[in-house]
A and B are shown apart, each in its own frame.
Chain A
């Protein structure tokens, strides 16, 4: 007897039951006394009166059926093995496979008994086939409603996927419009206000000039807001490409860039070396850009500020953190810290749009991770984050 379908590591115990039952009905008859005995029976070919055409017809047909059934069962077994995580009711396919193999061997025995009258073996094999057929026949009907439900669910989820793809496309068109059409008027507001200041500034009093400068500042601020919103939107729709990423290296690059924006500032970056994770390199850069950028910004009023990027083990998880010893904030008001446009400090002292941490949180969540914060007024802030493994 063939080994039957390939054993598999499918969830659920049904397939184990099926395989065990199959093995039992195959192996047990072999211990019966007369199984291989041909006794004094006549070979089946006698029934065909030795007619060679008739015998050939039976032999060729039976052997072909046997080969085909074994091949079909092997294909089913292979399919269940390959799709063991996704194919529903895979134990059912194994039951089918076994039943088909058993059928195949009854045909093989038909051919063998033409010359070797092992009718007991043939009979036992038929009994095994009967058990497998009956079992399959009994197991199948209760599955029908579940299989139908499964197919419907698959169709429905395909619809949801298509709708999602369509709305993603729409969102893409929308953010394209935002990035293009909303910025153009801002350029005009800023540009022509400046033109007035340059060409006819002398006709304006001090107040008028100051007001016009505020118009320019507001336009620039709205430009920043649009850019940050676009980044936020992009983090939601961009594809994730997880690879090995050296967080320390990115952090170092961000730190170097921050230091060149203000070379005279005395601040120290302590970056732990070689922190390697599986993450999307582009998105994780946005995270470190924002967290280190914030740390740099909110420790700006402090001489000799220290900004740290490191990790610690906490409840068996690797937790990364970015710590600064800057102005900090009252945790009481941190509830909405990660919502867009929420700010803890006044715009004049610490400029920003309030979109950065919302973007960071979204990226961390897309990586299956979490982010949280510890802070106190005038005692700095520490942002912790976890990136889930693949």
Chain B
């Protein structure tokens, strides 16, 4: 069985590399597609010319240049093909507004990136264990 891809939507190159590193350290070997901004992410998910296989999970940053994370989440939930996709918000903000915005728009989980990389390793390990192994998602 081929492993599902992970779509990582992250505009900060440092954060993207650290997330990739954390995935590798946790031996999560799924292919990771990095979208550097909102348009990139939308192009990957909704490209009309070449319908792609959907990712297994989306790791979504909120504050992105152009189309922001909540807007991407809204579009994912609005489209019949992607509306059941597990979306995990992975962001810096702990502001109530963002949390509410995330859950109101139907994110599956909201995780705040800790400063401490060892804590981040644990967070990524748990995301992988839960969303890629334990949890049953609709095909």
* Chain A interface residues toward B at CB < 8 A: 175-176, 179-180, 183-188, 190-192, 194-195, 216, 219-220, 222-223, 227, 230
Q: Which residue of B lies closest to A188 (CB)?
A: B14
- In the complex formed, the residue of A with least CB distance to B63 is A180
| B83 on the A face (CB < 8 A) | no
Residues of chain B within 8 A (CB-CB) of A192 are 14, 18
Per the 8 Å Cβ criterion, residues 1-45 of B in contact with A are 12, 14-15, 18, 21
B113/A176 in contact, CB under 8 A: no
Q: Quick check: is B117 within 8 A (CB to CB) of the other chain?
A: yes
Contact B115 A186 (CB under 8 A): yes
Which of B97, B114, B116, B118 is the most central at the interface, judged by chain A CB atoms within 10 Å of its CB?
A: B116
What separation, in Å, do the CA atoms of A188 and B115 have in the docked complex?
Answer: 8
Binds A, one of B48-56, B73-81, B87-95, B129-137: B87-95
* B residues 53-109 touching A (CB-CB < 8 Å): 63, 91-95, 97
Query: Could you tell me the distance between the alpha carbons of A176 and B98 in the complex, rounded to whole angstroms?
Result: 10
Interface size class of B (residues with CB under 8 A): 10 to 19
Chain B residues proximal to chain A, CB less than 8 Å: 12, 14-15, 18, 21, 63, 91-95, 97, 113-118, 120
A230–B94 CA distance with the chains assembled, in angstroms: 10
**Quick one: which of B14, B93, B115, B117 contacts A176, CB cutoff 8 A?**
B93
Taking the closest CB of chain A, its distance from the CB of B111, in whole angstroms, is 13
* Neighbouring A residues of B93 by C-beta, 8 Å: 176, 179-180
Distance in angstroms between the alpha carbons of A223 and B15 in the assembled complex:
16
Are A184 and B18 in contact, with the CB atoms below 8 A?
A: no
CB within 8 Å for A188 and B15 given contacts A176-B95, A220-B116: yes
Q: How far does the Cβ of B80 sit from chain A's closest Cβ, in whole Å?
A: 32
Given A186-B115, A220-B115, A223-B116: A191 and B92 within 8 A (CB)? no
Given A184-B15, A190-B116, A223-B115: 4 more A-B contacts, CB < 8 Å: A184-B92, A187-B14, A191-B14, A222-B115
Contacts of A216 in B (CB 8 A): 116-117
Residues of B within 8 A of A187 (CB): 14-15, 18, 92, 113-115, 117, 120
Smallest CB separation, B48 vs chain A (Å): 33
Minimal beta-carbon separation of B24 from chain A (angstroms): 11
Decide if A184 touches B117 in the complex (CB within 8 Å): no
Selected A-B contacts with CB under 8 Å, 24 pairs: A175-B95, A176-B95, A176-B97, A179-B94, A179-B95, A180-B63, A183-B115, A184-B92, A185-B14, A187-B14, A187-B15, A187-B18, A187-B92, A187-B115, A188-B15, A188-B18, A190-B117, A191-B14, A191-B117, A216-B116, A216-B117, A223-B114, A223-B115, A227-B94
